[in-house]
Amino acid sequence: MTTGAPKPHTDSARTDPARTDPARTDPARTALLRLALKADGVASAACGALVPLVPVDLGLPRPLVLGLGAFLLAYGACAFLAGLRPTRPRALAVVLFNTAWVLGSALVLLVDLFPLTTTGLVLLQAQALAVAAITAVQVVGLRRTS
């Protein structure tokens, strides 16, 4: 007869990977989140790749525009990879980056930080609305996984 120490109590919500990792749950429950993250990645990377080809003066310094393009390429890759195997932390990171992007865009508009042209104003507002929309879909997808 062995008398060992009693097993410590474990909280299944913390230790059960299926409850903490959306990628290990029912694929139907993660489909929207996967799609939203991958779409965000593809769209972001495409915008980043196209930035150097934009001939229009937006009212932003060209080095800033090129830097944002490089950032979007890297961010797009990360968001797409997060969509291949989404976890709550990865998805939340994408949602937080997107939220910061939208708030930063609003700040640029409100503070009148740069002398944006009409085209620059339209593009800034359009991309902020698009990012807000995909972020909303990502949040809905996240909620479906829990």
Residues 14-40, mean pLDDT to the nearest whole number: 75
pLDDT in tens, 73-127: 999 999 999 999 999 999 999 999 999 999 999 999 999 889 999 999 999 999 9
Average pLDDT, the chain: 87
Question: 28-60 in b/e burial notation, b at 16+ Cβ within 10 A?
Answer: eebebbbebbbbbbebbbebbeebeeeeeebbb
Contact by Cβ (8 Å): 92, 136? no
pTM, two decimal places: 0.80
Percent of the chain exceeding pLDDT 70 equals 82
Contact by Cβ (8 Å): 86, 34? yes
